[in-house]
């Protein structure tokens, strides 16, 4: 195997989607951890210390918006790249994501090749 391209925390309450993303990223050479919702993400993020978090928006307990906001406001996690993945593709949603400071926004259904490209680009670039 080649070198690890980076560490990714995949957050989605849908097990099928979570596993789809995790398997695709693992096959590409990323080290992958998963979380089932926003609270699980926040509970695990400091242990995992990912380079990138893929974050579903519509989840129980803490949705992706609140989770992304909390990640951005905590000094220990503010540098982590965040990709929102959601069926919500309206311009208002994209503006809201930019306002929070997410690094990328993919809409479901997404192309796994596009997801891999976005995560690879983010994992290899320094946080602004």
Q: What is the pTM of this model?
A: 0.93
The DSSP call for residue 92 is: H
- 104-123 pLDDT, tens per residue? 999 888 899 999 999 999 99
Place of tokens 């609140």: 66
**If you write DSSP's letter for every residue of 22-35 in order, what string do you get?**
HHHHHHHT-EEEEE
pLDDT tens, residue by residue, 18-73: 999 999 999 999 999 999 999 999 999 999 999 999 999 999 889 999 999 999 99
């Amino acid at each position: 195997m080649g070198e690890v391209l980076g560490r990714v925390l995949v957050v989605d309450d849908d097990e099928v989607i979570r596993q789809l993303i995790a398997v695709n990223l693992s096959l590409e050479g990323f080290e992958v951890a998963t979380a089932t919702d926003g609270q699980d993400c926040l509970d695990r993020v400091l242990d995992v210390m990912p380079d990138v978090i893929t974050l579903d928006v519509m989840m129980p307990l803490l949705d992706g918006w609140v989770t992304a906001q909390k990640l951005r406001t905590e000094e220990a996690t503010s540098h982590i790249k965040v990709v929102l993945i959601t069926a919500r593709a309206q311009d208002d949603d994209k503006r809201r994501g930019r306002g929070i400071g997410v690094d990328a926004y993919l809409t479901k259904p997404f192309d796994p090749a596009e997801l891999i490209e976005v995560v690879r680009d983010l994992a290899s670039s320094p946080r602004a």
